[in-house]
Each structure stands twice: as structure tokens, then as C-alpha cells.
Amino acid sequence: MKALPTIPPPLRGLLAGARRTRHAVPKIITSIPALAAFLILVAATFSLISLGTFQWPPTTSSSSPLSGAAPCDLTRGRWVRDPSVQPYYTNATCAFIEGYQNCMKHGRPSLEFLQWRWRPAGGAGCDDGDLPRFDAARFFELLRGKSILFVGDSLASSHVRSLVCTLSQVEPPARSPAAGGFERWRFPAHGLTVTFFWTPFQVRWRLTRGPPEPVGPDRQGEVFAGPSDIHLDEPDPRWLPAAAREHDVVVVSASHWFARPAVHYRRAAAAGRDGAASSNATAAARLTPEQAQRAAFRTVLRGLAGMEGWEGTAVLRTVAPTHYENGGWFDGGECTATEPADPEDPVPEMAGTEREFYRAQVEEFAAAEEEVERRSGVRMRLMDVTGMMLRRPDGHPDRYGHGGGEHEGFDIDCLHWCLPGAIDVWNELLLQILAGR
């Protein structure tokens, strides 16, 4: 029987307290023989628990541990200051940065947030020192004649733009107008195509009071206000499986939108609702955002794992936490940190919903990975960025993600990330994953 996976120590703090309950205090054991028997039972139980250590497999390595040593996990480590490091690109050298990501354009007063490198904690097969810098030539070599598809929300858009901006320093891409929701950048000299498909839920969905078909990123505001109809057990036919099958690598993400008002469907019938009223769901039980997100990821990941004839690589990028303090999106929340969290401090707290989103992603990935093991072809890879990004409260735009009055009350952004910035590390990890680390 396959051993169950466990949560790496740095991320146990993310999940601690997720399901805390109060326990009654046991009565004091006054009998000496009873006490001795009790202690023996406790010792035996502890031994059994110790033998069954619970650990998630390394997120950036598919190789087996060497001589029983801890495997290389590039996502465990700390941020170290490096004043000599230069960004891969700037808003002057890349024209693809969107306004809400363009902290340089909007006058962020300090660029010290760019002077940090990720240093893995180590393990068998890990190199000493920092995570290797992104090597565009190596990336082009690995994906020559291939294509990579990113599927997700605005954070996925930031991820793909970070990659395109970095690669564009070697070869300027030809950008195709968005057609059918797909935005493409082609690097003809290297035979590489990078594609982005915007979908906040990844499964089939539409605006409840909108058109019968899903809308595009130009109507994000309407989707944000919602409610949306989300079919949790149906892949979005616009990208899965037809479009996904055309790509060699598919990177999926997106979780935050599940906290928005929605009516949830299973088998074409209303299964529940969250913050939304609908005539065909008035009697349905409430589904939490965490339950809906878990069901959607189960559909997407198993859909990728079960694509007949596809021999590509499916990558799941985990939740990138927000860092709002003293409030939230529209009620005065802010993120004023000027450097990463101190590595000597405990792992910072993560919002309860995001913590459950992360738990669901990792667990559903493990389940899909088991399915893949029973068939050949598809490769499943987990890119766990949650722990490292939790320690980067300084990487958000804060009030420098837009000009004055541009966001209609959404003045402070502690959800998205500056470009260039902390999330450029995602492509350093992606390169290592695709290279087989």
C-alpha cells in the first residue's frame, strides 16, 4: 500500500488550526496500575504514529530520495538579500506588463523588493546556495518546437507575463490578438509558443445574469460582482480537453475567485450556493468556497490526468497568499512591509479560506497523481509556491498598482504582485521542474 503523503514542516503552520476543536480535559487517573497501562498505550500509539510520517512528495523533483535522505525540495528555504541581483526585465524593456502590475510606472518609491533571492533549505540532490537564476537559453532549449499553456486568473496572467518578459530579452515575441479567449506569444527563432487563457474558475461557468456563454477578461468587474453559475463537475470545454491537448505543458492555478458569489452545479443541477440567490437554487444547501474550489480542481486535475493520447506535462501552481493588514480589499486593508518576513520568525499566518484552498489543491493533486501512476503518458508536477510567497508581504503593489482614482475605490492591492518582482521566482521553479528537478 502506498504511503500517504505529508505536509513539509515549513507549511505545517499554514494548516495548523484549520480544523481546531475543543476537547474535554480527561479525568485524572489515580490508579497506579491504570496509569502504567495508560502510559504504555500512549507510548505504543506514539510509535505507530512515528512510523507513519505524513509528508508531501518533493514539489520540484520526481527522483527518489538517495540513501533515505530527505529529497530535494526547492520550495523549502528562505529569502536572502542580494543587492547585486538585477531584475530580468523592467517596464522599459518589456511592453507586456499590465497596469496593475506596473509598480515602477506608478512610482513605487523603493525597489529594494527586487534585491532578494530564494535560497532552498537543501536536501539530497539540491545544490548549495540560491535557487539557480532563470536561464532563458536553457528554457528555449527544453521547449524548442513546443508550446506551453497557462490557465487561470489575473495571477496566472502575471505569471505568463513574467515569463514572456524574461524570454523577450533574448527574442522579441510576436503577439497574436486574443481570439477565443486565448492570448499568444510566439518565439519563431526558438519554435516556442506561450499561450494564456483567462478563466477564474477553470471549469464551465457563466454569469448568472449575463450572456449564455462565459465572458472574457475585459468583463472581470462583472464576474467579480457576480453571481456566476459554476458547473463544478464539468471541464470548461473552451480549453479542456481540446485546447490543452494541443500544448506540451499546461500550467493551471486560480483559487481566489471561488470566494465570490456563485451558484454551484453538479450534473447540471443546482448543488449549492454561496452568497448568491437564484430561483433554481433557493432550496440548495450552501457550499463553502473551499468545497467548491476543491470540486473544481478535482475535475480539472483528473481531466488532465485522464486525457487519452496526451503525453504532456500538467503543472499545478498552488495559492499565492494575500497580505492584507487592518482590513481587506475595499475597507482600508494595506500591505506596508518593506522586506520579506524574517526567516527566524514563525511562518506567518494565512487567511483561513486561502489555507483551505491550499490544502485542497495539494490533496487533489496527490489524488490525480495516483491516477496517472496507473496509466502512461501524462506527467503531473506540483509547483508549491505558497510557503515562499507567504514570506513576501513586500512584493505587492500596495498603492502603486495604478494611478490615482483608476480603481474606483480599490486603492490598495495586496493580492497581485509587482512586475518585475517576487513572482519571477515562479519561472525559476518552472524551469527546474521542466528540467526534471
Catalytic residue list = 154, 413, 416
Cβ-proximal residues to 202 (8 Å cutoff; 6+ apart), any chain:
151, 152, 235, 236, 240, 252, 254, 296, 297, 300
How many Cα atoms sit within 13 Å of 183 on the Cβ side? Answer: 19
Nearest to 53 by CA among 12, 108, 98, 107: 12
CB 56 within 8 A of CB 362: yes
Cα(174)–Cα(188) distance, integer angstroms: 8
| Neighbouring C-alpha atoms within 13 Å toward the C-beta of 130 | 14
